[in-house]
Amino acid sequence: LDPHSSFMPPEAFGELQDDTKGEFSGIGIVITMKDGILTVVSPIEGTPAYNAGIQAGDVIIRIDGKSTKGMALWEAVKMMRGPRHKVVNITVIRTDAQEAIEFPLKRDLIPMTSVRSGILKPGFGYLRVTNFRMSTQDEIKKHLTRMEEESKGLNGLIMDLRDNPGGLLAQAVKVSDLFLSKGDIVSIKGRTESTKQVYKAQNDEEDRKYPVVILINGGSASASEIVAGALQDHSRALILGSPSFGKGSVQTVRPLKEGFGIKYTIARYYTPSGRSIQGKGITPDIEVEYEIIEKKKKK
């Protein structure tokens, strides 16, 4: 099977539910196996890992001094989660760093809220989506309604999906549908014709025709790429930033006897124009590298 597939003992299978509901204590990163190597998809905003400076693409080589070579994904997750305020040491290697970097991280409760917003200037809204959970679409609708009422209608919206590692497919479809009235959103294709599924936009009574700019980077994955790809292919949004992660495979989870489970890949995601997201990601319409802009001092 591929790197996104795994056999899960009862403790790992039970914890799988934590990613979309409930609350857990950890360091706040989404990880994957990339070419057999434990890799950070992205840190979750506002968590110990994010605040310490762990970045998308960092390769985790040790957890509390134990090598991650040959370690299963669920084992790594189990080692990083644990009692709140207890320290776990993560050692990473980074492409542009000469030596390995060690991060002593104090575990904390991982925030479940996925949406924030604000008015940048009259008529222009900013929507920050950090992940796609069960309530994400409902949260987004509330934020959009508030901003639309506050500005007496929006003239433009920035949707920030940077370092958003994804989440639930159904929520990615619903969020895309908020800005599309017709056409395909995403299709799923496996090895057989019977696995093919196409998700289409539904005509909504609410009219959101204002321009949209979507921000992405190397930490934008999975559901984020579905939204960005759908709105890009329909010329509904301008995509700005750097190429996304490229997590375009579909997993299903099956329970086994005595609490065990198996997660395995069954298909791939394709954008409305037929582009595969897997390993390629979404290429921005305008590429802009991330930098921290400092205010210039007045002379």
Quick: pLDDT tens for 16-28.
655 545 457 899 9
- For the four alpha carbons of 217, 168, 254 and 14, in that order, the dihedral sign comes to positive
Answer whether residue 155 shows pLDDT above 90.
Answer: yes
Average pLDDT over residues 53-72: 93
From the list 233, 242, 249, 263, the catalytic residue is 233
> Which tokens is 231 given?
């709105």
Look up 244 and say whether it is catalytic: no
Residue 44 DSSP one-character state: P
Q: Which tokens belong to 163?
A: 């370092």
State phi, psi for 18 to the nearest 5 degrees: -65, -25
Whole-number pLDDT of residue 186: 96
Mean pLDDT of all residues in 85-93: 95
> Poorest-confidence range of 14-23, 105-114, 248-257?
14-23
**222 a catalytic residue:** yes
Q: How far is CA 139 from CA 50, 104, 223, in A?
A: 23, 33, 16
Q: Quick one: pLDDT at residue 36?
A: 80
Q: Which of 34, 174, 247, 263 is an active site residue?
A: 247
CB within 8 Å of 253: residues ≥ 6 apart: 13, 16, 261, 262, 263
Q: What pLDDT does 108 receive?
A: 93
Q: Which of 83-87, 154-158, 188-192 has the lowest mean pLDDT?
A: 188-192
Most confident among 39-43, 204-208, 282-286 (mean pLDDT): 282-286
pLDDT at 296: 59
In percent, the amount of the chain with pLDDT more than 90 equals 57
Mean pLDDT for the chain overall: 89
CA pair distance 246, 283, nearest whole angstrom: 10
Higher pLDDT, 207 or 84: 84
Q: Are 260 and 6 in contact (CB under 8 A)?
A: no
pLDDT for the residue numbered 297: 58
Higher pLDDT, 2 or 141: 141
Which pLDDT belongs to residue 171?
94
The DSSP 8-state label assigned to residue 214 in this structure reads E
Task: Give the type of residue at 101.
Answer: I
* pLDDT at position 293: 65
| Sheet strands (E) in the chain | 6-8, 25-26, 29-34, 37-43, 59-63, 66-67, 87-93, 101-106, 108-109, 115-121, 124-129, 156-160, 184-189, 197-200, 212-216, 237-241, 249-255, 261-270, 286-287
Better-scored residue on pLDDT, 119 or 72: 119
What pLDDT shows up at residue 183?
96
Q: What pLDDT score was predicted for residue 272?
A: 97
On whether the CB atoms of residues 88 and 79 are closer than 8 A, the answer is: yes
Residue 273 pLDDT level (bands cut at 50, 70, 90) = very high
Q: Please tell me which residue, 110 or 277, carries the higher pLDDT value.
A: 277
198, pLDDT greater than 90: yes
- Give percent of the chain above pLDDT 70: 93
In terms of pLDDT, which residue wins out, 121 or 290?
121
Grade residue 259 by pLDDT with cuts at 50, 70 and 90. Answer: confident
The CA distance from 282 to 27, in Å, is: 27
* pLDDT surpassing 80 at residue 53: yes
Active site residue 160: no
- pLDDT on residue 295: 63
Residue 193: other Cβ atoms inside 10 A = 7
132 versus 111: the higher-pLDDT residue is 132
Mean pLDDT, residues 74-95: 91
Q: Which of these is catalytic: 222, 242, 244, 249?
A: 222
